[in-house]
Amino acid sequence: MRLPDIWTGLGFAVLGIFVVLQAQGFPEPAGAASPRLFPRIIGGAFVLFGLMIAGRSLAARLQGGDVRLVPQMEDWMRSPNRLARIVFIPLAIVLYGLLAPLLGSLPVSVVLVFVSALLWDERPVAAALVAVGVCLAVTLFFIEVMRVPLPTGPFPGALF
């Protein structure tokens, strides 16, 4: 996702201002090193370098360079399949976090991997086989080999 440098630079500069302003509120215990010092330096540097990136881009635009102010449409944005794949990746992570404690790690993983495989253009039967096979293998590895307690949901200890 290509964004104009002016906006990314300004975004980081704003983050720097936020970092510095937040640091102003940190308590300073008497006789100790200030917990504000390092955040101020980092926040200040954010502002400086963010503005430099934005300024550089603005200067190039003023000199007639091909610098846009609005993000451009990219190939993947026009493809519903690719867009769905991209949106589903962070969504799958969040859904696992929300649903696994309620429904159990294995069933949630199987559904998420199945949907994900479909979005990567796998046929339903192949996607189902991959989902079941991979999820079983990975879950067993974490539970049996690594001894990690994954959420079991409504089936406490019944799955393995």
Cβ atoms of 156 and 149 within 8 Å: the answer is no
Beta-carbon contacts of residue 51 (< 8 Å; ≥ 6 apart): 9, 10, 13
- Cβ-based nearer residue to another protein, 34 or 155: 34
* 103 scored as a contact of another protein (CB under 8 A): no
* 122 scored as a contact of another protein (CB under 8 A): yes
* 2 scored as a contact of another protein (CB under 8 A): yes
* 20 scored as a contact of another protein (CB under 8 A): no
Q: CB-based burial of residue 143 (10 Å sphere; 0-12 exposed, 13-18 middle, 19+ buried)?
A: middle
For 89-102, letters b (16+ CB in 10 Å) and e give: eeebeeebeebbee
Which residues lie near another protein (CB under 8 A)? Answer: 1-3, 5, 8, 12, 15, 19, 22-23, 26-27, 29, 32-33, 35, 37-39, 42-43, 45-46, 49-50, 52-53, 56, 74-76, 79, 82, 85-86, 89-90, 92-94, 96-97, 100-101, 105, 109, 112-113, 116-117, 120-122, 126-127, 130-131, 134-135, 138-139, 142, 146-150
